[in-house]
Amino acid sequence: MTAVIKTIRLTKAYGDQIAVDNLQMNVNQGQIYGFLGQNGAGKTTTIRMLLGLIKPTQGQIEIFGENLLEKQRDILKRIGSIVEFSGFYENLTARENLLIHAKLKGVHKKNAVEEALEIAGLQAETKKRVGQFSLGMKQRLGIARAILHHPELLILDEPTNGLDPIGIKEIRRLIKSLAEERKITILISSHILTEVEQLADHIGIIHQGKLLEEISFNELRKRNRKYLEFQVSDESKAAMLMEKHFAIFDYEVHDEGNIRVYSHIGEQSKLNKLFVEHGIDVFKITTSEDRLEDYFIKLIGGGTVG
Ligand code: ATP
pLDDT digits (tens, 9 = 90+) for 61-95: 999 999 999 999 999 999 999 986 668 999 999 99
Question: Average pLDDT, stretch 47-71?
Answer: 96
- Predicted confidence at residue 176, as pLDDT, reads 95
- Residue with the smallest CA separation from ligand 1 atom 26 is 14
- Predicted confidence at residue 303, as pLDDT, reads 53
- Predicted confidence at residue 145, as pLDDT, reads 94
Q: Within a 10 A sphere around the Cβ of 33, how many other Cβ atoms?
A: 26
Q: Where are the alpha helices (DSSP H) in 78-164?
A: 94-105, 112-119, 135-147
CA of 60 to the centre of ligand 1 (A): 20
**Does one domain contain both 16 and 144?**
yes
Residue 305 has pLDDT above 70, yes or no: no
- Predicted confidence at residue 302, as pLDDT, reads 60
249 in Cβ contact with 243 (< 8 Å): yes
Residue 114 lies in a domain: yes
Q: Which of 169, 195, 221 is the last residue of a domain?
A: 221
**Does one domain contain both 206 and 259?**
no
CA of 40 to the centre of ligand 1 (A): 5
CA of 205 to the centre of ligand 1 (A): 16
The number of distinct structural domains making up the chain is 2
**Does one domain contain both 136 and 103?**
yes
Residue 279 has pLDDT above 60, yes or no: yes
**Does one domain contain both 107 and 216?**
yes
Residue 296 lies in a domain: no
Residue 196 lies in a domain: yes
- Residue with the smallest CA separation from ligand 1 atom 9 is 42
Residue 306 has pLDDT above 70, yes or no: no
More confident residue, 284 or 288: 284
- Predicted confidence at residue 64, as pLDDT, reads 97
Which of 38, 44, 49, 84 to probe ligand 1 with, by most ligand atoms within 8 A of CB? 44
**Does one domain contain both 254 and 196?**
no
- Predicted confidence at residue 179, as pLDDT, reads 95
- Predicted confidence at residue 217, as pLDDT, reads 87
Report the chain's mean pLDDT, rounded to a whole number.
91
DSSP state of 132: G
Residue 297 lies in a domain: no
**Does one domain contain both 205 and 237?**
no
Question: Who lines ligand 1 at CB under 6 A?
Answer: 14, 17, 19, 37, 39-45, 191
Please give the number of the atom of ligand 1 that sits closest to the Cα of 20. 14
Q: Using CA atoms in the order 248, 249, 251, 255, what is the torsion angle rounded to 10 degrees?
A: 110
- Predicted confidence at residue 241, as pLDDT, reads 96
Question: Average pLDDT, stretch 101-116?
Answer: 88
CA of 207 to the centre of ligand 1 (A): 12
Domain with 280 in it:
225-289
CA of 20 to the centre of ligand 1 (A): 9
pLDDT band at 106 (very low <50, low <70, confident <90, very high): confident
- Predicted confidence at residue 218, as pLDDT, reads 86
How many Å apart are CA 290 and CA 229, to the nearest integer? 13
More confident residue, 253 or 291: 253
Which of 10, 11, 12, 14 to probe ligand 1 with, by most ligand atoms within 8 A of CB? 14
- Residue with the smallest CA separation from ligand 1 atom 15 is 19
CA of 167 to the centre of ligand 1 (A): 26
Q: Which of 175, 192, 221 is the last residue of a domain?
A: 221
- Predicted confidence at residue 250, as pLDDT, reads 92
Residue 107 has pLDDT above 90, yes or no: no
- Predicted confidence at residue 127, as pLDDT, reads 87
**Does one domain contain both 121 and 259?**
no
98 in Cβ contact with 125 (< 8 Å): no
More confident residue, 289 or 271: 271
- Residue with the smallest CA separation from ligand 1 atom 17 is 40
**Does one domain contain both 147 and 32?**
yes
